[in-house]
């Protein structure tokens, strides 16, 4: 899997590195644990050892869609569509109790380490490449983007379609 035609028409590719398509995903709980136990851990080690296992995510810069893949599957199994947010401010407390995720593009995590191999997790989070943290509903049908500069939910990703290629593989 190196290329994919997005539903908007753009061809997505992760062949070149760094790229703006592949997303690195981390559990918020894991990042917080690392920030307490070993904030000076190298960002490269965090990327290698502590990203979410078994899944990969691709992002389309043109339309904002996110494709979720499971390892060992040819096709993505979930597509998320970016939506403008109408969540009222009183929803925020509930949203912030959901499962927290950190997503950064391949380029956003690769570039700081290319110029400084000693770049630490703490240095990265002190000046992150974007201000968003993400919060997923338990069924994964909606992933909210929380802007840490305005302390508000600015948009979300809604599950657009779901696919299971195991069914067709058995047929
Ligand atoms: Zn697209």
Are residues 30 and 50 in contact, defined by beta-carbon separation less than 8 angstroms? yes
Distance 6 CA to ligand 1 centre (A): 5
Written as tens digits, the pLDDT of the chain (171 aa) is 689 999 999 999 999 989 999 999 999 999 999 999 999 999 999 999 999 999 999 999 999 999 999 988 888 999 999 998 776 656 899 999 999 999 999 999 999 999 898 999 999 999 999 999 999 999 999 999 999 999 999 999 999 999 886 544 443
Distance 14 CA to ligand 1 centre (A): 14
Are residues 85 and 154 in contact, defined by beta-carbon separation less than 8 angstroms? yes
Distance 24 CA to ligand 1 centre (A): 18
Give the contacts of 107 (CB within 8 A, at least 6 positions apart): 18, 19, 20
Residue 93 CA, chain-centre distance (Å), reads: 21
Distance 60 CA to ligand 1 centre (A): 5
Distance 77 CA to ligand 1 centre (A): 16
Residue 72 backbone zone (phi > 0: left; psi -120 to 50: alpha; other: beta): left
């Amino acid at each position: 899997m190196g290329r994919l035609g997005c539903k908007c028409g753009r061809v997505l590719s992760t062949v070149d590195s760094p790229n703006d398509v592949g997303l690195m995903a981390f559990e918020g709980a894991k990042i917080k644990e690392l920030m307490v136990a070993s904030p000076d851990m190298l960002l490269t080690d965090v990327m290698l050892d502590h990203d979410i296992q078994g899944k990969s995510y691709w992002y389309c810069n043109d339309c904002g869609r996110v494709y979720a893949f499971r390892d060992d599957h040819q096709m993505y199994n979930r597509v998320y569509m970016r939506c403008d947010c109408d969540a009222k401010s009183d929803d925020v407390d509930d949203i912030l109790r959901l499962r927290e995720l950190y997503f950064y593009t391949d380029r956003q995590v690769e570039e700081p380490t290319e110029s400084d191999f000693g770049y630490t997790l703490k240095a990265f989070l002190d000046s992150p490449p974007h201000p968003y943290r993400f919060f997923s509903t338990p069924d994964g049908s909606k992933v909210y983007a929380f802007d840490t500069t305005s302390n508000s939910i600015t948009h979300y990703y809604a599950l657009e379609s779901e696919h299971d290629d195991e069914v067709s593989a058995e047929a």
